[in-house]
Amino acid sequence: MVARPEELTEASDAPAQSASTPLAASLDLAAPDPDGPVEVDGVDGLGQGVVAVLPAVLSEPALPNTGTMPAGVVVVEAPSAQVVSSQAVTGGPVVAGGVVAELRPVLPGVDVGPLPAGPHPGPMRLGVIDIGSNTAHLLVVDAHRGGQPQPAASVRVPLRLIELLEADGSLGAEGEYALTACVREMREQAETLGVQDLAAFATSALRDASNGDQVLDRVRAATGVGIGVLSGEEEARLTFLAVRRWFGWSAGRLLALDIGGGSLEIGAGMHEDPEVVVSLPLGASRLTRGWLADADPPRRSDLAELRRYVRAQIAPVVGTIYHLGEHTRAVATSKTFRSLARIAGAEPYSRGPYTRRVLRRDDLADVVTRLTRMSAEERAALPGVSASRAGQLVAGAVVAAEALDLFSIEEAEICPWALREGVILRRLDWLTSA
C-alpha cells in the first residue's frame, strides 16, 4: 500500500470535479455553407480555415498532444457549436473518437482562438501520475492560466518496474499487481485532495514491455485510470517545455538532458517546441542491469565497455544538434543529475527550487571516480543519494559524464522542473484554452 507522507497537504477547499467533465466554451459560428456538407472519414484531410462539426459530444483524451491538427482547424460539437478543443488552432491535441460529419468554411474575422482577454479563470487543482521505470509519482499542483503551478502534494512509490520485466520482455504478475495497487491508491489520494483533472502516463518500462498494452488495459479496468504511454520523443519534448517555461526566453538556445531509469532524453532549440528531440536507451537502471550487475563496485573492464557503448550512442546526436547552432545554456533534469550535483557540492534541495544549482564537468569527473570505487551501500550514505537509487548511480554518472564531454558542456544548470511538470503545463494550456 502507498503510505501517505507527512508533507502531503491540502492547499485548496475547491470541490472535486470529474476529470471527464467537458471543458467547452461557447462560440457563435454563423458561417455560410455555399457548397454544402462534405463527408469525410477522419481529420487527415482537414485544411486551413475550416470548422469540423462532430455528430456528438466527445470526451477529452487522457493525455494532451496525442496527435495534432493543421493550424486553423477547430473541433466543435453539434448542434450547440461549442468548442471542444480550441487548442487545435495552433496545432494542439486532436479530440479522440467520432467521425467528422461536415466541413464548413469559417467566416473571416470569426474568433476561433483561445479564451478572450479578461479575468483569469479560477485556480484548478491538477494531478498527474507518472509511471516511470523505477518510481511511480503522483504530483498535485494548484494552477491557473498564466500562473506558475504551485505544488500541493507529492507521493513517490519505488515500483522498479524495469527490474520486474521477465526474460521475454513482458511485465510479470508481480509487477502488474504492484502497479495496479499503486495506481488505485494514487487515484484515491487524488480524490481526497480534490483533484479536478487527473492525467496518468507511463514511460520506458511499460513502453518497452511486450505486454504493456494488455497490462494497461487491465489496470484501467481495475482502477478506472487510463494510462497513456509516452514515446521517448514525447518525453523529450515535454521535458523541454518544462525547462523552457522555468528559464524563460532569456535563456536563448537551450540544450536539455534528462536521465531516467530506462532512457536518456535530449532536446534542443530556441522555442517551447524543441527543434531536435532524441531518446536513447541509456537509462541508469537499464545500463546497470545490462553492464554493471555482476560486481559491486563495478569492474574497470565493465566500466570501460559501458563508456564506449554510451559514447557510441550519443555521438551521432551531437552533430545534428550543433548543426542548428550552439546552445547558450545547457540544462540537466532528473534525480540522477540532481544527486550528482549534490555530491559535487550543490546546495541541498531543502533550500528550495529557486536556489541556483550547477554541475560542472570537472567536478563530475571527480565524482565519477569516487563513485566507481564505492559499494552501493557506501554510495547510499552520500548526500542527495537514496538507498533505492544508489545501485544505479554509477551507470547514471557515466552517462552524464560522457554527455557533458561530447557536447562540450562545461557547466549544466539543474532545473527543478522536468517531465511531470511538462505534462501539467501542456495539460493546463489545453484545458484553459478550451
* CB-count burial class (<10 Å; 0-12, 13-18, 19+) for 42: exposed
CB 331 within 8 A of CB 274: no
Angle (nearest 5°) at CA 291 between 287 and 295: 120
State the pLDDT at residue 338.
97
One-letter amino acid for residue 359 of the chain: L
CATH topology of domain 124-229: Nucleotidyltransferase; domain 5 (3.30.420)
Q: Is 363 exposed, middle or buried (0-12, 13-18, 19+ CB in 10 A)?
A: middle
pLDDT for residue 328: 96
pLDDT of the residue at 144: 87
What are residue 67's phi and psi, to 5 degrees? -170, 175
Cα gap 411→363, rounded to integer Å = 10
Domain residue limits, the chain: 20-113, 124-229, 244-419
pTM, 2 dp: 0.73
Give domain 244-419's CATH superfamily: Exopolyphosphatase. Domain 2 (3.30.420.150)
For residue 146, give the nearest of 124, 120, 115 by alpha carbon: 120
Phi then psi for residue 153, to 5 deg, are -160, 155
180/165 Cα distance (integer angstroms) = 15
Question: What residues contact residue 102 under an 8 Å CB cut-off, 6+ apart?
Answer: 37, 38, 39, 52, 53, 78
Spatial neighbors of 329 by CB under 8 A, at least 6 apart, are 247, 251, 252, 253, 254, 255, 413
Residue 224: exposed, middle, or buried by beta-carbon count in 10 A (0-12, 13-18, 19+)? exposed
Q: Answer yes or no: same fold for 124-229 and 244-419.
A: yes
Tens of pLDDT along the chain (434 residues) come to 433 333 333 333 333 333 332 222 222 223 333 333 322 223 233 333 333 333 332 233 333 333 333 333 333 333 333 333 333 333 333 333 333 323 233 233 333 333 333 444 568 999 999 999 999 999 999 998 888 999 999 999 999 999 899 999 999 999 999 999 999 999 999 999 999 999 999 999 999 999 999 999 999 999 999 999 999 999 999 999 999 999 999 999 999 999 999 999 999 999 999 999 999 999 999 999 999 999 999 999 999 999 999 999 999 999 999 998 999 999 999 999 999 999 999 999 999 999 999 999 999 999 999 999 999 999 999 999 999 999 999 999 999 999 999 999 999 999 999 999 999 999 999 888 76
* Residue spans of alpha helices (H) in 157-299: 173-192, 204-208, 212-223, 232-247, 284-291
- Cα angle 207, 262, 221; round to 5: 35
